[in-house]
A and B are shown apart, each in its own frame.
Chain A
Amino acid sequence: MRLRPFTLAEPESVPEALEILARFDGEARIIAGGTALVPTMRLGLVAPDGLVALHRIPALTEVDAERGVLEIGAMTTLAVLARHGAVRSSWPLLAQATGRVATPAIRSTATLGGNLCYAEAASDPAPALLCLDAQVRVAHGAGERVVPIAELFTGFYETALASGEILTGVRVPAPPAAARSGYVKFCPRSAEDKPLVGVAALFTLDAAQRVETIRIGLGGAAPTPVRAVGAERVVQGQILTDAVAREAAEAAATEAEPLSDVMGSADYRREMIRVWLRRLLTGLRDGRPPA
C-alpha cells in the first residue's frame, strides 16, 4: 500500500525551506518525523502535491541548555529529549512527558516540532510545555516571530502558523530549582496509546508551605491542549490540603470542554480529569506523584 506520489524537497537551510514553501503556494506540507503525517497521508486524509522535509537542516536538531534557557531545535526527536542529561535534571517535566509518547520506535522518529504542529489535543508534551511557559520560534519570509505556546493552539488540529511559516524551535525557561512537577498520562486501553486525558502540573511553595506559583496543563480536555486556569486560581496562595486539591480538581473538570470520541465520552474525560488532577497534586505534595 503505497503513498500517493508527491514531489519531495530536502532543503539544507531554513531560508531555502521557506523559499520552496512559497513556491508551492500552499500545495506542500512540511514533514518532520512523519509519524503523524505519513499515516494521515496513507489514510487519504491529506494528499499534498509536495513535501518539504526538514531533516537535512542541521541547526534544527540542536539542543542548547547552556544559558539557563532550553533551546530545542524543532527536529529534535522525543527520544533525544527524554534521555538528555540537562533536560532530565533541570526540565524533568519535559523529559517525563516526551518519554511517555507512544513507543520507543515512534519516539526515535517523532519530533517535538512535529508534535506541536500536529496540534493533537491529547499531545503528551504540550501540557508540560504549557506548565513551563514555553515559546515557539516561527520563521517566515520576513524574519522570525515568537509565539507563546498557549497561543500556538487555536483549534481542533489547528495552529497559529500561517501557510508558508515554519516552526523552527521551542524555547523553555528553566523552572525554579525547587519546583515540583509531574505528568500523568491516563490510558484506559493500552499504554502506548495517546492519553484519554493527560495532566501536567508544576508548582513552587513558599516558606509557609503555601503554593506560590502553579501551572496546570491538560491534554484531551478540550479541542486543544489547554491550561486549567480556574484550577490554578483555586490553589494559588493556599496550603495544598486534600480539600484544596479536591476543589482544584473540581474546577478543572468544570472548566474543561472535552470532546467525545471512540476513546471515551466527554463525561468520562471530565471525570478522569477530576480524579487525576487531585491525585497528581496530592502526590506531588507528598513526594509520591502517580506514575
Chain B
Amino acid sequence: MTLSFDFTLNGRPCQAEAPAHWTLLDLLRDGLALHGTKFGCGEGVCGTCTVLLDDEPVRSCLVLAARIRGRAVVTVEGLDREGEPDPLQVAFARAGAVQCGFCTPGMLLSVRALLAANPAPSEHDVREALAGNLCRCTGYTKIVEAVLAVAAGR
C-alpha cells in the first residue's frame, strides 16, 4: 500500500510517495536521500532522528510518514541560511560540542525548537530541552555552552 501526499520540506513544497508502513525517518533517508537525520535506537529514546514537524521536535523514527501530509518538516539539511550555516551550527563547532557527530543533527533541531519558543533560556531550560538527546562523546557541557552562547548573541 503506497501513499502519495504533499508537505513542506525545509521551506520548499514537496510531493512524496511512501509505503504506508514507512516512518518519517524511512521517507527522509531512503525516499529522499536526506542522510543527515540518523537512525539510532528506533524506539524514540536516543534522539538522533529528531526533526521539526510544524516547529515542534518529533522523533522521526516513531512518526508514520502519513502524519506529515500538509505539514512542514525541517531537517538538519534545512538549517543553513542561503548557504551560511545556522548560528547554532557555528557555535557547536566553535565550542567543541561535536565529536563523533552522530547525535548532532538531533541536538541542533531540539535546540532550534527551544530557542524558537524561548529565546532566552536558562541552563536548566537547555538541559530540559536536550533531555531526550543522548551524546556518548561530549559529556554535554560543551553542547549546553554552545546553546547558551547563541542565546546570548555571542
Chain A residues near B (Cβ < 8 Å): 1-8, 10, 31, 33-35, 38-39, 42-43, 51, 53, 55, 79, 102-106, 108-109, 190-192
Contact = CB atoms under 8 A, between A and B. Distances in A.
Nearest to A33: B62
Q: Name which of B3, B19, B22, B64 has the most chain A CB atoms within 10 A of its CB.
A: B64
Given A4-B21, A5-B20, A106 B64 contact: no
B36 interface: no
User: Taking each of A79, A106, A191, which has the highest tally of chain B beta carbons within 10 Å of its own beta carbon?
Assistant: A106
Contact of B58 (A39, A51, A105): A105
A39 B43 contact: yes
Contacts of A5: 1, 19-21
A3 B64 CA distance: 10
Interface residues of B, number: 32
Given A38-B62, A106-B132, A3 B113 contact: no
Contacts of A42: 42-43
Given A35-B44, A42-B42, A103-B47, A8 B20 contact: yes
Contact of B64 (A31, A79, A190, A192): A31
B131 A10 contact: no
Contact of B62 (A7, A34, A192): A34
13 contacts: A8-B1, A8-B3, A8-B66, A33-B62, A38-B23, A39-B44, A43-B43, A55-B67, A104-B113, A104-B114, A105-B110, A106-B132, A108-B57
B42 A192 contact: no
Contacts of A109: 58-59, 62-63
A190 B61 CA distance: 21
- Kindly list the 5 A-B residue pairs having the minimum CB-CB distance in the complex, ordered from nearest: A103-B132, A8-B20, A108-B56, A105-B57, A39-B43
A39 B64 contact: no
B2 to A, nearest CB: 10
Contacts of A34: 62-64, 67
B50 interface: yes
Contacts of A106: 44, 59, 132
Interface in B18-54: 19-23, 26, 39, 42-44, 47, 50, 53
Given A38-B23, A191-B131, A79 B56 contact: yes
B26 A2 contact: yes
A105 B47 contact: yes
B95 interface: no
Contacts of A191: 131
Nearest to A9: B20
A55 B54 CA distance: 15
Contacts of B1: 5, 7-8
Interface string B119-147: 00000000011011000000000000000
A103 B49 CA distance: 14
B110 A104 contact: yes
Given A38-B61, A105-B132, A2 B67 contact: no
Given A38-B61, A53-B64, A8 B21 contact: yes
A85 B1 CA distance: 41
A237 to B, nearest CB: 39
Contact of B22 (A2, A39, A108): A2
A102 B62 contact: no
B21 A2 contact: yes
B66 to A, nearest CB: 6
A252 B96 CA distance: 49
Given A1-B42, A6-B20, A108-B57, 16 more contacts: A1-B39, A2-B21, A5-B20, A7-B1, A8-B3, A8-B20, A35-B62, A39-B62, A51-B20, A103-B131, A103-B132, A104-B113, A105-B56, A105-B132, A108-B58, A109-B62
